[in-house]
């Protein structure tokens, strides 16, 4: 059986290519998993956009100039030469956009394993951890697609909210009139952050989005206000505020830093506006600082212990999923893309950023079974 990989040019993300390679024999200690399905969101485009700066290309190296975008999803063990990992087991984790992958499990436990390949040794443990679905408290078969789409994003959202609260919103909420501005407000990581922030007192949650997505963002009910990008003048110029940048739009960042003289903190999270990414030098006000979720995880592990952090995340996740999947007004509708052509088309749509924000894309490069 051969492996099918979807690759992109690192210097031109719109150029994608499907490559087929022969299956290689497993070495002692390795396992081969079929990548059953994976989510593709703006978060994955951020991985690609910051692939060199944050070493996201390092997880699944490709030939010179090409990259394999890492994605979150589910895989089933097809073959194992690793005692403690059995054929047929299902794992949630960080996969390539491929039909199958070979991993080298280490630090096995009833909960799962860590990837032990030498080229990933210096990469953060959050991305090297694979969870056994049968023992994973976050996992239910009924919400598997939602988990692939939202679990990693929501953890980032939860950590952003926790980071800002842990730092007292950098003084923005001292008088109870401060605001947190979130760009790309229709993105899943942004509205997950807004969902958490809206539960706190003394801070206004303002979503910034394109005119086309105003109605959707308002329908979520987790933003106190939603404004189009050209409506910044509706916020007082002297408002104490924090900017959380999910878009990476350099012009918007500059406008915000220039308009708001009482900007307390500027946090860069993503790059949904790939064509408008730019540097953050010579900006008025605070330095735009990249948010790195694993750093906050490390801090809270020290503060609360791994179990304490896990319990807080699990409870918040269950509350969030309950709202997202509310049958009366769901925030997310799953759309599946099966096979090479469908995967390539879905990638182009997500990269372009023009899709319906209510749609979540689940992809698979596995052969489509005959009907």
Q: Which of 13, 68, 72 is nearest to 352 (CA)?
A: 13
**pLDDT at res. 276:** 46
Four-point Cα dihedral 188, 290, 93, 348, nearest 10 = 60
CA distance 262 to 353: 31
Q: Phi, psi (5° rounding) for residue 20?
A: -110, 130
Superfamily assignment of 152-293 in CATH? NAD(P)-binding Rossmann-like Domain (3.40.50.720)
CA distance 153 to 148: 9
**pLDDT at res. 190:** 95
Per-domain boundaries in the chain: 3-136+332-364, 152-293
152-162 burial string, b = 16+ CB within 10 Å, else e?
bbbbbbbbbbb
Which of helix, strand or coil describes residue 172?
A: coil
CA distance 47 to 279: 17
Superfamily assignment of 3-136+332-364 in CATH? Medium-chain alcohol dehydrogenases, catalytic domain (3.90.180.10)
Which helix (H) or strand (E) element contains residue 109? Answer: strand 105-109
pLDDT by residue for the chain (371 residues), tens only, comes to 799 999 999 999 999 999 999 999 999 999 999 999 999 998 898 889 888 888 899 999 998 899 999 999 999 999 999 999 999 999 999 999 999 999 999 999 999 999 999 999 988 888 999 999 999 999 999 899 999 999 999 999 999 999 999 999 999 977 767 899 999 999 999 999 999 999 999 899 999 999 999 999 999 999 999 999 999 999 999 999 999 999 888 899 999 999 999 999 999 986 544 444 455 567 899 999 989 888 899 999 999 999 999 999 999 999 999 999 999 999 999 999 999 999 999 999 999 887 889 999 999 999 866 54
The dihedral built from the CA positions of residue 321, 327, 328 and 330, taken in this order, carries a sign that is: positive
DSSP assignment of 295-349: HHHHHHHHHHHHHHHHHHHHHHHHHHHHHHT-TTS-S-EEEEEESHHHHHHHHHH
pTM of the model: 0.87
Can you tell me which residue has the tokens 């995880």?
Answer: 297
Largest CA distance in the chain: 64
């Amino acid at each position: 059986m051969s492996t099918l990989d979807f690759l992109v040019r690192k210097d031109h993300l719109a150029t994608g290519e499907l490559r087929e390679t022969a299956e290689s024999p497993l070495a002692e200690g390795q396992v081969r998993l079929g990548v059953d399905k994976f989510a593709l969101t703006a978060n994955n485009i951020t991985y690609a956009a910051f692939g060199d700066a944050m070493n996201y290309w390092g997880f699944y190296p490709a030939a010179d100039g090409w990259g394999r975008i890492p994605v979150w999803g589910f895989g089933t063990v097809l073959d194992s030469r690793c005692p403690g990992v059995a054929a047929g087991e299902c794992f949630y984790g960080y996969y390539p956009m491929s039909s199958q992958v070979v991993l080298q499990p280490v630090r096995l436990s009833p909960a799962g394993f860590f990837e032990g390949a030498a080229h990933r040794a210096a990469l953060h443990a959050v991305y090297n951890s694979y969870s056994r679905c049968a023992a994973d408290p976050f996992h239910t078969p009924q919400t598997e697609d939602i988990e692939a789409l939202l679990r990693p994003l929501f953890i980032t959202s939860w950590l952003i909210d926790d980071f800002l609260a842990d730092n007292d919103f950098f003084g923005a909420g001292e008088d109870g009139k401060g605001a947190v501005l979130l760009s790309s407000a229709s993105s899943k990581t942004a509205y997950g952050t807004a969902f958490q922030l809206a539960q706190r007192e003394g801070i206004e949650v303002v979503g910034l989005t394109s005119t086309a997505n105003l109605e959707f963002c308002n329908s979520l009910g987790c933003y106190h206000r939603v404004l189009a990008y050209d409506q910044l003048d509706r916020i007082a110029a002297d408002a104490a505020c924090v900017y959380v940048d999910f878009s990476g739009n350099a012009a918007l960042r500059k406008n915000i830093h220039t308009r708001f003289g009482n900007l307390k903190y500027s946090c860069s999270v993503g790059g949904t506006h790939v064509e408008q990414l730019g540097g953050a030098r010579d900006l008025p006000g605070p330095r735009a600082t990249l948010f790195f979720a694993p750093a906050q995880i490390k801090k809270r592990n020290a503060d609360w212990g791994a179990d304490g952090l896990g319990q807080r995340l699990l409870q918040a996740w269950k509350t969030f999923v309950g709202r997202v999947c509310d049958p009366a007004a769901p925030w997310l509708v799953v759309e599946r893309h099966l096979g090479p052509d469908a995967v390539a088309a879905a990638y182009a749509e997500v990269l372009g950023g023009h899709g319906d924000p209510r749609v979540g894309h689940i992809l698979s490069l596995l052969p489509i079974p005959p009907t």
